[in-house]
Amino acid sequence: MQDFIIAENIVKRFAEHTALDGVSIRVPRGKVFGLLGPNGAGKTTLIRIINHITMPDEGTVTFDGHDLRADDMLSIGYLPEERGLYKKMKVGEQAIYLARLKGLSEHEARRRLKIWFEKLGIMGWWNRKLEELSKGMQQKVQFIITILHEPPLLIFDEPFSGFDPVNAEILKKEILELRDKGHTILFSTHNMSSVEEICDDIALINHSKVVLQGPVDEIRERYKNNTYRVTIPAQVSFFEQSVCEVLGEETKGKEKVLTVRKPEGETNSQLLSHLAEQVEILGFEECLPSMNDIFIRVVADNELH
């Protein structure tokens, strides 16, 4: 299957610094793609280039099989990190205005907005000025505006910032639903737990360059270091170290969780049988490194070089 966005060798220079230095990413169709990186790494610049807001100095962007052009804007829904709408304008009027700029007719915009406003429970605010709404409600309005024209590509820059956990959950559900309907989603964040939950692929940008890219599972697989979590009864105190190296232990009520390193060349079954000879095993799982760990590690490595 063809990738939806292919950015190749993007270079963007500003007066004092280079924001993007030969960045290439491929966003697969119908997937959630996470764009990660510390502040100032160049994520927003890349997003603006894909949005056709700024032009790259070098490099090309292929959008759905053709070179990115101005009218592709209509096929993108963009939720910027810095949220903002007209404060003095009525919510409904404003949403219709922005939808019309994305190519919807007034009638169609109104019809779809009604459905979404009902769905997210903000219909009562249609005729209020935006500034009268709470922050969370403004976020909902903005989310609806972003997706209303049902574009094939959705770009969310830090979508969860400013949402309370309940609404963040609703939002997450909506994003995954959109993906299942076939929308491609580009998703920029530093919230690593959300990356594990909803991203299929990621690219990590640091200092204007892509330092890590690929499917989330693969990356976590690649960064695993043969550690496992073994749960045993808490009263067992003795454990023979020759079986495997114990990196840490933690007692939770009647259970004790050990973090162990599997010896080189041994299979899981072999390790388990060795362990089973000594203690009762209540649980056994492989420790995959969290995206958070990987992020910190890669960025730290990168700083060294």
Partner 1 sequence: MSKIWIIIQREFSVRVKKKSFIILTILMPFLVAALVFVPALLANMKSGEKNTVALIDVTNHYVSVLKDTTDIHFVYETTMKKSFQQDGSPYDAVVFIKGDLTHHPDAATIYSRGEVPHAVEEYVNDKLTEKIRNDKLSAYQFKDIKQVVADAETKFSVKTARWDKNGNTTVSSSDIAGVVGLVFSLFIYMFILSYGGMVMQGIVEEKTNRIVEIMVSSVKPWQLMIGKITGVALVGLFQFVIWILMLTSIVAIAGSVFGVASTGAMPMVGGMSSEIPQVAGLEWLHIIQGMNFVEIIVLFILYFIGGYLLFASIFAAIGASINEQQDAQQFMMPIVLIFIFALYAGMFSIQNPDGPLALWCSFIPFTSPVVMMVRVPFDLPLWQIILSLVVLYGTSALIIWFSSKIYRVGILMYGKKPTFKDMMKWLNYK
Q: Which of 40, 60, 101, 135 binds partner 1 (CB under 8 A)?
A: 101
Does 53 bind partner 1 (CB under 8 A)? Our answer is yes
Does 1 bind partner 1 (CB under 8 A)? Our answer is no
Q: Which of 69, 87, 173, 222 binds partner 1 (CB under 8 A)?
A: 87
Collapsing DSSP states into helix, strand and coil, what is residue 281? Answer: coil
Q: Which of 57, 174, 200, 266 binds partner 1 (CB under 8 A)?
A: 57
Q: Which amino acid is at 209?
A: K
Q: Which is nearer to partner 1, 153 or 275 (CB)?
A: 153
- CA dist 4 and 31 (Å) reads 9
In sequence order, what DSSP letters do the residues of 45-113 get, joined into one string?
A: HHHHHHTTSS--SEEEEEETTEE--GGGGGGEEEE-SS----TTSBHHHHHHHHHHHTT--HHHHHHHH
Q: Which stretch binds partner 1 (CB under 8 A): 30-38, 45-53, 194-202, 259-267?
A: 45-53
Q: Which of 37, 80, 92, 159 binds partner 1 (CB under 8 A)?
A: 80
Contacts of 11 (CB under 8 A, 6+ apart): 18, 20, 21, 22, 23, 56, 57, 58, 59
Q: If phi over 0 gives left and psi between -120 and 50 gives alpha, with beta otherwise, what is residue 182?
A: left
Q: Which stretch binds partner 1 (CB under 8 A): 66-74, 205-213, 263-271, 274-282?
A: 66-74
Q: Which stretch binds partner 1 (CB under 8 A): 33-41, 77-85, 114-122, 290-298?
A: 77-85
Q: Which is nearer to partner 1, 152 or 214 (CB)?
A: 152
Does 67 bind partner 1 (CB under 8 A)? Our answer is no
Size of the site for partner 1 (CB under 8 A): 29
Q: Which stretch binds partner 1 (CB under 8 A): 29-37, 81-89, 111-119, 175-183?
A: 81-89
Q: Which is nearer to partner 1, 107 or 252 (CB)?
A: 107
Phi, psi of 17 (to 5 degrees): -145, 170
In sequence order, what DSSP letters do the residues of 178-222 get, joined into one string?
A: HHHTT-EEEEEES-HHHHHHH-SEEEEEETTEEEEEEEHHHHHHH
Binding residues for partner 1, rule: CB under 8 A, are 15, 48, 51, 53-57, 70, 73-74, 76, 78, 80, 82-89, 97-98, 100-102, 142, 145
